Every structure is written in C-alpha cells, then in structure tokens.
Structure 1
Amino acid sequence: MGRVKLQIKRIENNTNRQVTFSKRRNGLIKKAYELSVLCDIDIALIMFSPSGRLSHFSGRRRIEDVLARYVNLPENDRGG
C-alpha cells in the first residue's frame, strides 16, 4: 500500500512541526549535496528552524564565497 498524499499546509502542532522540519532538513541537505557533486555546482543552503536555530550547507566552497558571488551579480541576473 502506498503513502497517503499529504496536504501541504502549515503544521499547527509545534512539536510535530519541529520533528517534520528536522526530518525534511536532512533530506534537503542530502539532495543539495548530491546536486553539487553530480553537476559540479556551487551551492549554499541556509535554513532557520521554527525555534530559530540556524542550519546550513555548502558544497565545495564556503557559504560566504557563494553569497559574495550572488551579491556581485548584476541586479537583472539574480532572478527575483
């Protein structure tokens, strides 16, 4: 039997929200790592948990280097 389709909406229970964040954070970091290795890209991932704690990931370069590269892009190349 397959998984139940989860409706994407804010989780109201604080404990459940934190647990879900912790599990999904690890999956997101794993995907970012795989993308950086497979495609040989610079990547920086910055997240704040519901409790305000910082989580971050960077590939081969430091987060500061990737952010500096982004900041130095012309305004119209930033995409949003």
Structure 2
Amino acid sequence: DDWLSALREDQFVETLPLLRRTFGAFESGERRAIGRAVRDSGAVATRTADEDGGFDLTRGRVALRAAAAILGVPV
C-alpha cells in the first residue's frame, strides 16, 4: 500500500495494467489469501524513489521476495 501510494501519477498509471493482469488471473479465493498474506506480513521500512524518478531497487527486492514467498517460488 505504501509503495503504491508513493508512486508518481505516471508510474502508477503504468503499473495498473500489470497489477490488474497479475491479480485478475487468480481465483477469488487465491486473491483473498494473497491479500491476507500481504496484510499479515508486517511493516517494512520504505523509502521513496530517488529524485531523478528511478525506482528504489532495495524496496523492489523486498517486494519480489514477498511475492515469491506468497507464490511458493524459491528465491
């Protein structure tokens, strides 16, 4: 939630189709389980993207590890 709300408007708009396709492919029960897993994972220290509009790679790695754990994919 914090990561998504920290995106600039153009970054958010570019991300929406990917999020929609990704979560739209799951059954409703799976989406609920993913939502619970994200909700229950606890807070993570966050930073905003750097001033030149780049992405925070440290935060990205945390997100990828979390997504892999939720999906049961080894990292």
How high is the TM-score relative to the length of structure 1?
Answer: 0.27
Which structure would you say has the larger RCO, counting Cα contacts within 8 Å and 6 or more residues apart?
Answer: 2
> Higher strand share goes to which structure?
1
TM-score, normalised on structure 2?
Answer: 0.28
Normalized per residue, which structure has more helix? 2
